[in-house]
Structure 1
Amino acid sequence: MAGTVVFDLDGTLADTSGDLIAAANACFTGRGLDPLLDPVADALIAFHGGRAMLRAGYARMAADTLLPPGAEDEDYARLLVHYGEAIAVHTKLYPGTEAALDALADAGHILAVCTNKPEALAETLLRELGIRDRFAAMIGADTLPVRKPDPRPYQAAVERAGGIVTRSFLVGDTETDRKTATAAGVPVALVAFGPEGEALTRLAPEAMLAHFDDLPALAADWLA
């Protein structure tokens, strides 16, 4: 009997850090500041969300630089606009992503996405990457009133895809994904090829994926 494999998006299916950081830097330069984030060195910050990038950049401003009240909210709104206009310039699927999705589908498994990226942006990105039709459901940060690590977005992703939560597992790349899986009562496989790499073993996931080539066999084992 097949099951459901649910994927996070940023840092799991695709390396989106370059485009996310470019959007944040556009906000900084729009205020007359330098680009304050580095697309390589700050990749991990990008996967913690837009506000995390803005705050990291603000912390690097000159000590005598003052921001007006409400600057973070204004810049966050601008960041979403900048990002939406250039969402797949640098973003690439991780090696083996499409082959793994094909293998899972061929084995009869249902695929879904559960991400803390806003739903409209996630839909756009998946289409730009050419893989939206691989997934039977997609739940974003604002699809429901709650977001990961609350288990309800994960449960909704499985159920809307036509699956059963007890015959599913999550593939992710952050502590949020670890907590989501625990709250939903399902196993999690964390990817070792994202920005944190093998450091994610500290979260004691049920599995670490060195490459997407390993995912079909893992699914066969866990969903057998």
Structure 2
Amino acid sequence: LVDSAPDIRAAVNRMLATERLAPLDLPTVVSFIGNGLPVLVERVMRLRGLAPERHEELTRRTLDLYSRAGAELTRPYPNMIATLETLADAGFALGVCTNKPEAPARDILRALDMDRFFGVVVGGDSLPVKKPDPAPLHRAFETLGHDRRLYVGDSEIDAEAAERAGVPFALFTRGYRKVPVETLPHAFRFDDFAALPGFALHRA
């Protein structure tokens, strides 16, 4: 939905600044994204030599910094709003399933006026497990209550979650993927969200 890496990087670097440590560049932070904030902070700590026993403390601090910043640097991907409007007007029930904590995810959707499109938001802390475990996807689809299902994502985590949930997967190829497109199971791939409604309407 959105490119949130700049705001995630800003929160990470503010946390590092409180430890008097050098900031990280955007590609490094992007390489850490995908498995949720605790894993991201763990990777940052390992890179900067911070003591592992401080993980819970520094994760809380990073989340607080991220939440307070809101959607300062986060933006929807190009053509995203028009795509959501087209899908909503066509009668699709839409939801969000993310490894981002639920509260910041909802805050970002509200800040960008995107919350109006979604009937459910399942975050990385909404359940005891997160993607690639299929439970968050199952929760999202069960809440939406439709039998015809499609999951749209941009990473190997998303592809595995969809496969384990038995849901067709549409792969956005310009997101946070770290492996070649060809290695990920998908029913459709696209690099512009303007292409997504045509595929979804054809499936319907």
Q: Same fold (TM over 0.5)?
A: yes
Relative to 1, partners in 2 of residues 1:57 and 1:80: Cα closer, same or farther, differing over 3 Å?
Answer: same
Q: Secondary structure at the match of 1:145?
A: coil
Counterpart residue number, 1:20: 8
1:131-156 Cα offsets, whole Å, 9 max, x none, are: 00101111112222222222221122
Q: Do structure 1's residue 31 and structure 2's residue 3 form an aligned pair?
A: no
Determine which structure has the larger helix proportion and give its number. Answer: 2
Q: Do structure 1's residue 75 and structure 2's residue 33 form an aligned pair?
A: no
1:178-213 Cα offsets, whole Å, 9 max, x none, are: 111111111101101214388333213121111101
Which residue, 41, 57, 81 being the options, matches 2:44? 57
Unmatched 5+ residue regions in structure 2? none
Per mean C-alpha deviation after superposition, the further-off stretch among 154-163 and 132-141 is: 154-163
Q: Secondary structure at the match of 1:138?
A: strand
Q: 2:6·2:73 contact (CA, 8 Å) conserved in 1? A: yes
1:95-150 Cα offsets, whole Å, 9 max, x none, are: 01011111111211111111111111111111111100101111112222222222
Q: Secondary structure at the match of 1:79?
A: helix
Q: 1:119·1:140 contact (CA, 8 Å) conserved in 2? A: yes
Q: Secondary structure at the match of 2:26?
A: coil
Counterpart residue number, 1:210: 191
1:149-169 Cα offsets, whole Å, 9 max, x none, are: 2222112211212322xx101
Counterpart residue number, 2:100: 117
Which residue, 129, 133, 147 being the options, matches 2:130? 147
Which residue, 162, 185, 200 being the options, matches 2:145? 162
Distance 1:201 1:125 in 2: 31
Q: Counterpart amino acid of 2:190?
A: L
Q: 1:117·1:140 contact (CA, 8 Å) conserved in 2? A: yes
Greater gyration radius: 1
Q: 1:201·1:208 contact (CA, 8 Å) conserved in 2? A: no
Distance 1:222 1:215 in 2: 11
Distance 2:77 2:58 in 1: 29
Q: Counterpart amino acid of 1:42?
A: V
Q: Secondary structure at the match of 2:151?
A: strand
Greater relative contact order (Cα < 8 A, sep 6+) = 1
**What TM-score do you get using the length of structure 2 for normalisation?**
0.91
Q: Counterpart amino acid of 1:34?
A: A
1:75-101 Cα offsets, whole Å, 9 max, x none, are: 111000000001311111000101111
Distance 1:112 1:212 in 2: 16
Q: 1:113·1:135 contact (CA, 8 Å) conserved in 2? A: yes
Q: Counterpart amino acid of 1:123?
A: R
Counterpart residue number, 1:199: 180
Distance 2:30 2:165 in 1: 28
Aligned length: 204
Q: Counterpart amino acid of 1:108?
A: G
**What TM-score do you get using the length of structure 1 for normalisation?**
0.83
